[in-house]
Chain A
């Protein structure tokens, strides 16, 4: 069923009348030259028409709530509903970003504790929550690395090293900060080529950006040696936290020698992906990068630190709610306040007008508190169990693993190189046909190093039956392709649309509706 555009159901003079604030339009306060003379192209529909339209659109989506979504590198795990409900309590929704600290202690307590939890989980000395997505976290991280070198008057360090399998955001971020990018090759088993790294580091090295486990789905075994090489050369280590789910509670980036890390809270801490965002890309730093953290950060207002008015000196201030569990970071008598450029004069500055995606951070906080210490450690364990199980089962069915000699981390890669040569079956074909079987496709054609690859990340929240059904589907598609490749190449058949003409989309740009 084609759902018409909302503009096509719009009729002049129709409206959702309940949304009328009950006043007339009066533009007398606006000089005529500054007034709008045409009507903006917004739909004119009834409330029910709008509700029905957008509900129907929602039904055209795959999502975690409706489908297994094993998209590699994206950590599509269940997003607990409680996180959403509790982040949307009326007081949290109504809180203005400039609300005084006297009316912010509940919110600030959550943020402070989230900072402390993230510090502990990553082994870092400081955390700033403000970056609004992973890429902005990366930006903050590389900006801090640059600021660190600059503060030491080490001005030649403008080169960022990235493995050739890195996420595209790594080189793009380095470029945004005016750094040049140098790629380091990967060896046959998926580890960074250490000899090549040794040859690449030098007085121009600002740092290296690494994902560990890497984008190839394997743990970088020589990480301590790599850290030593880069530090020895005067560079710093950046940890791309896209794959933190794999090692949560098992090994900490800070212990591996990383100086700065970003976390994708919309992956590891299960905040929703929302059809593309919002995310939250909190950054963690080692001691030497603490002065450069992006602002604002939540701090404790100690006795002498009563810089802001209204904090700590109001006797009627209610005691901060405390829970019963033994929680060394929570203290009901504590007051919290924002730290800004006055507290962190060397900060790289502000990345958003306010403090970033606060509502997402609240969801991450609720998630972290529900998991708790033990739950957090189980995340990495069961994510890894599911990935290794799926890898073992697919290998058993004849699929080729890209790194068969390695343990899978929380994700793994199969390559259809042989299927393509033999019968013309590509990663795209399998991805599209999987949709007909009721599974979202894994990530395809990333990393670029592996031909015809599917990067599969099942996450810890999937049950064994679902994983088995997914294996059955892949086997069935391979069988289908052997019998009738054209059938698979024509997929999908059961979606709202069949394969789309991307070339036409790019050549004949149609980027907004215009009346005929």
Chain B
């Protein structure tokens, strides 16, 4: 009986103490007509050795291809110590720190995390995490709707340069509470939010403006101008940022003359493996003035009976277990273990290490663009400054090219032609610090070969 310790003697003694003739009798309150028979689609149990063999086979099937995909999830080196410590049972198998005295490890770590993520984003207060970047954006917009007492229409300007899947999540999760996303066009040359497209909304009741930096195309937005414009409209600024980029880029707290109001993003680049899209974590920071509108758990420092410093969950009256239908959000379980990893990751990299990682990503992407755009017919689409991602245009439809690259165990990037048909055969590529010069050359050679083969066969 996997994971059940009872001996036959135990069972007999326990049933005797209960006064029940058998285990089945313990279910006698369930109507007999409801009791289910054997499960048909659940196979026989496997011992650990066999499931290990099976999972290894499955993993090998997917392989370890060379990955130039980014689009919101980035391959970074994760120091060995990060997951060695994160998977210690004391972190891994603990519950939410409701009993503060028996959870000081998790609580102090969260307080340190809040300090670090506030420092990175240039904000005053952070929660203890959301599910992921996309759901954090949804919550940030709901928060903006509560916090903006002046512009209450729920209209939210979301540039087309914001991650399209994030916008999908915003639509799915905020509609019922009155958030109305309105798209804003981008400039064809720079791939950044178009001033004229914003100007068309001037004078309207806009609750919030979303600014993603770097944007979905990897390009750098003129965040100061956008922030000041939004504030002039009485809108709150909701920033979506890549935390690694913040080692080099101006933090949202310093955007424009008064800074962004709410900052969110995906914490994946801080110690979370790609892992098919999750678990990652969403971060959410804001100004002190909006702390009571913030969803999720928050840790505070206080003292114990003897005056000794300690940490505890605070401002819980915002949360569902106390406020129920009037809670700021229904979130309960968050992504604590990923925050543990991120906090260790940030500690090991430090300000210098994170800046070097960010710089290495930029340099690799720049080099990749140089190599790929030297292939006839391949061009870099936008001219504005960028971080570690860029859009390329191919001379042929993207999907078959990516398929041919995948056959060579290379993931060539994200096909933009579905979401952005106006860009033509456009491909979003990314080269993080993990890519060697050989990797970049291998991609160039493969792409050249695929495009050539394609050209000769048609």
Contacts and interface: CB of A to CB of B under 8 A. Distances in A.
A/B: CB atoms within 8 Å of each other: yes
A110 B59 CA distance: 10
B223 A34 contact: yes
A360 B447 CA distance: 35
B95 A511 contact: no
Interface string A23-64: 111110111011111011111110100110111111111111
Given A55-B85, A102-B406, A376-B42, A273 B320 contact: no
Given A326-B43, A461-B4, A511-B299, A407 B29 contact: yes
Contacts of B120: 40-42
A169 B332 contact: yes
B118 A384 contact: no
Contacts of B306: 498
Contacts of B47: 370
Contacts, number: 710
Interface string A299-340: 000000000011000100010110101111110000000000
Contacts of B83: 88
Contacts of B411: 96, 98-100, 103
A349 interface: yes
A138 B108 contact: no
A370 B34 contact: no
A374 to B, nearest CB: 7
Nearest to A23: B360
A91 B92 contact: no
Contact of A373 (B33, B43, B331, B403): B43
Contact of B39 (A7, A138, A373): A373
A320 B356 contact: no
A60 B105 contact: yes
Contacts of A289: none
B101 A500 contact: yes
A380 to B, nearest CB: 8
Interface in A346-385: 348-360, 366, 368-378, 381-382, 384-385
Contacts of B298: 511
A44 B351 contact: yes
Given A95-B276, A431-B99, A502-B314, A63 B330 contact: no
A94 B329 CA distance: 32
Interface string B154-170: 00000000010110110
Given A224-B31, A275-B95, A512-B111, A40 B4 contact: no
A366 B53 CA distance: 11
A138 B173 CA distance: 12
B115 interface: yes
A34 B105 contact: no
Interface in B301-337: 301-306, 308-312, 314-315, 319-327, 329-337
B385 interface: yes
A99 B62 contact: yes
A269 to B, nearest CB: 12
A89 B56 contact: yes
B203 interface: no
Interface string B54-85: 11111111111101010111010101010101
A470 interface: no
Interface stretch (B132-140, B181-189, B230-238): B132-140
A408 B182 CA distance: 52
B26 interface: yes
Given A90-B59, A323-B54, A51 B45 contact: no
Contacts of A314: 407
Interface in B350-386: 350-357, 359-360, 362-363, 366, 385-386
Contacts of B402: 100
Contacts of B366: 29
A506 B315 contact: yes
A359 B4 contact: no
Interface stretch (A127-135, A413-421, A472-480): A127-135
Given A89-B59, A91-B64, A353-B72, A172 B92 contact: no
B362 to A, nearest CB: 6
A309 B401 CA distance: 11
Contacts of A71: 95
B220 interface: yes
Contact of B104 (A353, A359, A497, A502): A497
B246 interface: yes
B340 interface: yes
B24 to A, nearest CB: 8
Interface in B96-111: 96-97, 99-106, 108-109, 111
Given A79-B93, A353-B163, A96 B169 contact: no
Contacts of B18: 385, 388-389, 392
A277 B132 CA distance: 12
A36 B128 contact: no
B119 interface: yes
A497 B308 contact: yes
Interface in A211-259: 218-219, 221, 223-224, 247, 249-252, 255-256
Given A139-B173, A247-B30, A382 B36 contact: no
Contact of A100 (B50, B52, B356, B406): B406
Interface string B233-253: 000000000000011111100
B96 A273 contact: yes
A41 B119 contact: yes
Contacts of B407: 102, 310, 314
Given A120-B39, A506-B300, A511-B291, 19 more contacts: A21-B353, A23-B433, A26-B362, A35-B249, A59-B105, A100-B406, A110-B55, A121-B42, A132-B135, A135-B330, A139-B330, A251-B35, A274-B336, A275-B106, A352-B131, A353-B169, A376-B42, A385-B15, A497-B309
A-B pairs, top 7 by smallest CB distance, nearest first, are: A372-B45, A354-B277, A65-B89, A274-B337, A41-B119, A276-B336, A349-B172
8 contacts: A30-B248, A41-B116, A110-B55, A120-B42, A277-B335, A373-B38, A382-B6, A496-B104
